[in-house]
Amino acid sequence: MIIVCGHLEVDPDRRADYLERSADVVRQGRADDGCLEFSMSADLLEPGRIVVLERWRSREAVEAFRGDGPEGEQATDIRGGDVREYDVADERPLM
């Protein structure tokens, strides 16, 4: 399993628009057979921060979906961030 987790930084006055424009990407990710979870949300404390969380069945699945990453206006809105991939060898349910 691959977990993609971290945050993006955008101008605070552009965050709501960025998230709205990202809704189709989230829908597409969730519809992908290799996707277990895909979420982007506004940080509760920092007005320009977007939290990213994805879980994928395999590296091949996430790479096939991601392609070259954000494009166009979405890519130009990103001012920074820290998003990382984690290879998970084991898991256990908490709920």
Domain boundaries, the chain: 2-87
Which residue do the tokens 């939290």 mark?
51
Low-confidence residues of the chain: pLDDT under 70: 68-75
**How many angstroms separate the Cα of 79 from the Cα of each of 8, 9, 11, 27?**
8, 5, 7, 24
76 contact partners, CB below 8 Å, separation of at least 6: none
Beta bridge partner(s), residue 7: 51, 82
- CATH number listed for the domain at residues 2-87: 3.30.70.100
